[in-house]
Amino acid sequence: MESGAYCVLSTAHLTVQTAGLLDKWACWPPSDRPIDIAASVYGWFVPTRPLPDDRRAQIPDDLQEIIAFGRDRGFQFLLLDCDADRAADLPVHDW
């Protein structure tokens, strides 16, 4: 049985532009997405594994920072949720 660890963070750590990209990418076929994501009712699941340079270049800085935050703390995934708590170590964007 495989298991993993995830962290729940507020979508306020994303800019509205990045949130729009995540919504758009979630509708694309998985092979076309720059990052593997899954939409939820209130946000997105995002993996924290390192990305190849060509894919990382397509990821906005705010999302890269959140991914690094999770990976540095040993999480394999992030659940970005509009009702989740905000982390003091990450920027907050009002939208």
Residue 41 lies in a domain: yes
Q: Is residue 93 part of a domain?
A: no
| pLDDT score at 20 | 96
Asked whether 7 and 73 are in contact (CB, 8 A), the reply is: yes
pLDDT per residue as tens digits for the range 14-73: 999 999 999 999 999 999 999 999 999 999 999 999 999 999 999 999 999 999 999 999
Query: What is the tens place of the pLDDT at every residue in 75-93?
Result: 999 999 999 999 999 999 9
CA dihedral of 57, 58, 61, 65, whole degrees rounded to 10: -80
* DSSP string for residues in 13-69: GS-HHHHHHHHHHHHS-GGG-SS--EE-SSEEEEE-S---HHHHTTS-HHHHHHHHH
pLDDT-based confidence at 1, cuts 50/70/90?
A: confident
Structural domains counted in the chain: 1
User: Is 8 a member of any domain?
Assistant: no
